[in-house]
């Protein structure tokens, strides 16, 4: 599953734009009074002005061999989050290493090196090594029920064994991370809540669905090539 576009809300639009365009060096694609978009590898990442203090968890894939280089590159740009004193986390069942940090809006951002993917790159880490948005968190009332509804419409596989609290749908290039509302986000002390979200993914047919405040659209690959 490939995420073409991910659109989130924020109450700190200017600060968030400065972070992703300035601090992380992602190319600015669009800027309007109440929104902006940057290019995060294969994904268009956009932010729209919203009310309250919405926050999300999402992950960027980076080359599978560059997690240490990413740590060096982020030094001075962000403060990495820690789990029991460690900033680098290894997930054996996912065969992946991750690091986490917060953006100015409090979004929990992850860089993840997935060692099953053949995306190795040489050289120092740069913003060009931010390959795509590969995860987006979706807090829901009922994880198992949401799996059934999303699979019916979107025909996405469950990537790892689901539980009532957590389930990843999709694949290593793109995952919807379903979590139970109120569950504490990993690497934080914040409970998961649902905020408006729009995601466009590549698929085999044009279809869309709504889950809570989430709008998910699938675009057929042939229609993208004609766009």
Query: All domains of the chain, ordered by start, with CATH?
Result: 3-226 (3.10.180.10)
pLDDT given for residue 92 in this prediction: 97
Distances (CA, A) of 92 to 8, 37, 68, 114, 168: 30, 34, 17, 11, 15
pLDDT given for residue 224 in this prediction: 62
pLDDT given for residue 204 in this prediction: 85
pLDDT given for residue 59 in this prediction: 99
Return all residues near 203 (Cβ < 8 A) that are at least 6 apart. Answer: 1, 154, 155, 218, 219, 220, 221
Burial class (CB in 10 A: 0-12, 13-18, 19+), 52: exposed
Contact 6, 60 (CB under 8 A): no
Instruction: Please tell me the distance from the alpha carbon of residue 126 to that of residue 123, in angstroms, as a whole number.
Output: 9
Distances (CA, A) of 123 to 37, 65, 67, 70, 181: 27, 10, 12, 11, 41
Mean pLDDT per block of 10 residues along the chain (227 residues) reads 98 98 99 99 98 97 99 98 94 98 99 98 98 99 96 93 97 98 97 98 92 94 60
Instruction: Please tell me the distance from the alpha carbon of residue 194 to that of residue 179, in angstroms, as a whole number.
Output: 10
pLDDT given for residue 222 in this prediction: 66
HSE, CB side, 13 Å, CA atoms: give it for residue 39. 8
């Amino acid at each position: 599953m490939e995420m073409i576009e991910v659109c989130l809300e924020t109450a700190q639009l200017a600060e968030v734009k400065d972070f992703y365009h300035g601090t992380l060096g992602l190319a600015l694609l669009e800027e309007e009074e109440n929104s902006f978009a940057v290019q995060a590898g294969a994904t268009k990442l956009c932010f729209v002005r919203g009310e309250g203090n919405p926050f999300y968890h999402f992950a960027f894939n980076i080359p599978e061999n560059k997690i240490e280089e990413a740590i060096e590159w982020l030094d001075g740009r962000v403060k990495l989050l820690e789990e029991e004193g460690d900033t680098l986390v290894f997930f054996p069942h996912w065969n992946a290493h991750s690091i986490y940090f917060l953006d100015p809006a409090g979004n929990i951002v992850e860089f993840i090196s997935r060692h099953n993917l053949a995306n190795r790159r040489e050289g120092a880490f740069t913003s060009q090594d931010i390959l795509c948005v590969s995860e987006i968190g979706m807090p829901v009332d009922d994880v198992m029920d949401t799996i059934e509804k999303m699979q019916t419409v979107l025909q996405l596989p469950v990537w790892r064994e689901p539980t009532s609290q957590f389930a990843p749908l999709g694949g290593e290039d793109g995952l919807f991370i379903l979590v139970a509302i109120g569950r504490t986000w990993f690497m934080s002390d914040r409970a998961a809540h649902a905020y408006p979200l729009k995601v466009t993914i590549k698929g085999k047919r044009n279809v869309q669905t709504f889950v809570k405040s989430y709008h998910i659209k699938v675009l057929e690959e042939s229609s993208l090539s004609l766009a």
